[in-house]
Amino acid sequence: MIKINNISRSFIGDEVETVAIDEMNLTINKGEFLSILGPSGCGKSTLLNVLGMLDSIDSGKFSFLDNPVDKFSEQQRAKLRKQHIGFIFQNFNLIDELTVEQNIELPLYYHNVAKAERKKLVDAVLKRVDISHRRKHLPAKLSGGQQQRVAIARAIVTEPDLILADEPTGNLDSKSSTQVMTLLQQLNQDGATIVMVTHAAEHVCYSSRVIELLDGKIINDHQVDGEVQSGNDEINGMAKGEKNQQTFAEVSCG
């Protein structure tokens, strides 16, 4: 689905140039649930923005569904983004003035979906994230977990091929986090490709693959094996690989 070869992205500040992504190679296949781990400033968010075509790259090749994105104009990228990608943010980024269902309806509106169809899709997705009873509320009246479920509903209502989640549980308590992660896992099981940036190592267990970044480079990349069982205190899924033993020593899923 996504292939990046030797891409680099750096930011030029007042005095120093910060290399956020350094000649990175990565392939993401359809149906994967990829977690990106790493300390602050390692380039996680930049990578996500690049994958979401919100940010451009300085060099390298980037192909998305066989489209040469690195050669695309801003407009072409916007079009591709609109058609195939849904976003979930740490701070939800719901529009305060719109109700829950209006927020969810917004991308459909921008996709020129007819009104009746919009209603049907919104209803379905509201059920799916289990927030139908709050549909008329403004975001400010919802808890953080509820807001994030609305944000997820908004991200998936257009049935995107790829969902990009930037620390989706970063602002949530543990109970809400679990709900959100379970929801994402379900979406993945239903066929969505998900790329998630996270600080919380325990959430890695929900994903199928994890990469770890440091200073704009991938230092670890491996499959996650094992079922995640909610509510289980025991480690019942452990990343397997040869080079990752110490890195994931403290990871516990559940």
Partner 1 sequence: MVKFLFIVAWRNFCRDKLTSFIQLTGLIIGIASFILIQLYVDHQKSYNTAFTDAKDIYRINLLRGENKPQAQTPLRLSRELRQNFSQVEDATRVSPANVSVKYLQSVYSERALYADPNYFEFFDFELLEGDINTALDAPDSLILHQDLAVKYFAGIAGVIGKRLTINGKEHQVTAVIKKPTTPTTMPLTMILPMVNYYAQFSNPEWIDAWNFNATRTFAKIPQKSAINTLTATISDYYDSRAKGLSSYKTNRINIQPLLDIYLDNTTTQSLTPPSSAVMVLIFSIISMMILVLACVNFTNLSTAAAMRRGKEVGVRKALGASKRQLISQYLAEAVMLSALASVFAVALVALCLPAFNQLMNVELLFDFSVSQALQLLALTLLVGILAGSYPAFYLSNLSPAHVLKGLVTTSKSGVWLRQSLIILQFAIAAFLLVASLVVNWQMQYIKNMEQGFDREGVIVISRGDNTYNAFKNQALRHPDVLSVTMSHTVPTKATRTSNTVRRLDDISNEIWVGNNPVSLDFFKTYGINLLSGRAFSNAYINDAYQENQTNWQSSTGKLMINQTLAATLGWSPEEAIGQLLTLGGGQDGLHNHQIIGVVEDSHYVNVKNIVPPMTYVLSAQPEDLSLRWTSIRFKARTSYKALKEIELIWLGLAPDLAFKYDWLSDLFDSSYRNETQQTELLNVFTLLAIVVTAIGLFGLAAFNTQRRVKEIAVRKILGASTGQLCFMLVNQFSILVVAANVIALPLAYLLMRDWLDNFIYRIDMPYSAFLLSAAFSLVIAYFTVMVIAYRAATAKPVDSLHCD
Binding interface with partner 1 (CB under 8 A): 45, 49, 52, 54-55, 78, 81-82, 87, 89, 91, 93-96, 106-107, 110-111, 154, 158
Q: What share of the chain is helix, strand, coil (3-state, %, to 5)?
A: 35, 25, 40
Closer to partner 1 by CB, 30 or 111: give it: 111
DSSP state of 162: E
Rounded to a whole number of angstroms, the minimum distance from the CB of residue 106 to partner 1 is: 5
Cβ-contact 144, 173 below 8 angstroms = yes
Rounded to a whole number of angstroms, the minimum distance from the CB of residue 52 to partner 1 is: 8
Distance CA 199, CA 72 (A): 32
Closer to partner 1 by CB, 104 or 211: give it: 104
Closer to partner 1 by CB, 39 or 110: give it: 110
Distance CA 153, CA 83 (A): 16
Q: How large is the greatest C-alpha to C-alpha distance in the chain, in angstroms?
A: 54
Rounded to a whole number of angstroms, the minimum distance from the CB of residue 84 to partner 1 is: 11
209-214 and 33-37 strand pairing: parallel
Rounded to a whole number of angstroms, the minimum distance from the CB of residue 136 to partner 1 is: 19
Give 223's strand partners: 209
Rounded to a whole number of angstroms, the minimum distance from the CB of residue 49 to partner 1 is: 5
Closer to partner 1 by CB, 165 or 239: give it: 165
Q: How far out from the chain centre does Cα 45 lie?
A: 10
Closer to partner 1 by CB, 58 or 225: give it: 58
